[in-house]
Amino acid sequence: MAQLPEAVQAAEQARSNRESGIMDLFGEVEEVQRKPAKPVKPWSDEVRLKGEKDTLGLYLTGHPIDVYRQELKAFIPAKLNEITATRRGVTTVYAGLVLDVANFPNRVVIVLDDGTARIEVSCNHERFQRFKDIIQVERVVVFEGEIYEREGFDRPMGRLNKAFSLNEIRQKRANSIQIKLTHDLLQPSLAKDLQNILLPYCNVDMHQHIAIQLQID
């Protein structure tokens, strides 16, 4: 996109050359000299995927949940294409991107998508009001509730009990964090700085591991 104005300008110049009959020594239309491409910062995954959704109506090269997928494995037992009906009164936890929130006279239906499948999750209006600040379109959320089969449908449906933001589920379920740093960030004050940042929120027990490679002849 950063090269688009120059590309348009070059195309206009080429068209102008053809129309005016500017020729090179061999009788062919002279080509417009191409300028070297400017170095540009690549789009983030979030910006690229949003552009795909806005222009194409779908995510083409990935899914917004991909950046969290590895982390969610610690909290979520199954992807949406793997979940099955639970016994009555038994809940499970699952996650997805909110695609739609539909209001009906007696209920609200939320559509979640995690790149593997979609699921419709229903709740009454009173329960939805409790979690409406979390359940926002184009936001990754974590739901807890029952899963049940629907007659005439090949996919189960969810019944919402609770909804969590990613930060909330981290606080509730995570028991440790792992930080990987490059060598240039390993300053003498790093351990103390990290401890000062983390200590207000949790107990801190720090271990430092240095990866090394050995060659044995």
List, for residues 37-47, the tens digit of each pLDDT value: 667 677 777 77
Cα dihedral value 116, 78, 175, 66, nearest 10: -10
Residue 163 φ then ψ, to 5°: -130, 140
The highest-confidence range among 48-52, 57-61, 97-101, 147-151, by mean pLDDT, is: 97-101
In this prediction, residue 34 carries a pLDDT of 61
**Segment (H or E) for 93:** strand 92-104
Q: Where are the domains of the chain?
A: 67-172
DSSP string, 109-133: EEEEE-SS-EEEEEE-HHHHHHHTT
Q: Give 91's DSSP letter.
A: -
Report pLDDT digits (tens) over 5-25: 666 666 676 667 666 665 554
Of 174, 110, 168, 116, nearest to 142 (Cα)?
168
In this prediction, residue 20 carries a pLDDT of 66
Distances 39 to 1, 2, 7, 126, 179 between C-alpha atoms, Å:
12, 9, 15, 52, 31
Residue 180 token pair? 């990987």
pLDDT band for 172, please (50, 70, 90 cuts). confident
Q: Which residue has the higher pLDDT, 47 or 165?
A: 165
Residues 6+ apart with CB under 8 A from 84: 147, 156
Q: Specify the range with the lowest mean pLDDT, choosing from 28-32, 88-92, 141-145.
A: 28-32
Q: Which residue has the higher pLDDT, 121 or 2?
A: 121
pLDDT higher than threshold 80 for residue 160: yes
Full-prediction pTM beyond 0.75?
Answer: no
In this prediction, residue 51 carries a pLDDT of 78
pLDDT band for 75, please (50, 70, 90 cuts). confident
pLDDT band for 125, please (50, 70, 90 cuts). very high
Rounded CA separation 21/8 (Å): 20
Q: 67-172 is classed in which CATH architecture?
A: Beta Barrel (2.40)
In this prediction, residue 129 carries a pLDDT of 97
pLDDT higher than threshold 70 for residue 28: no
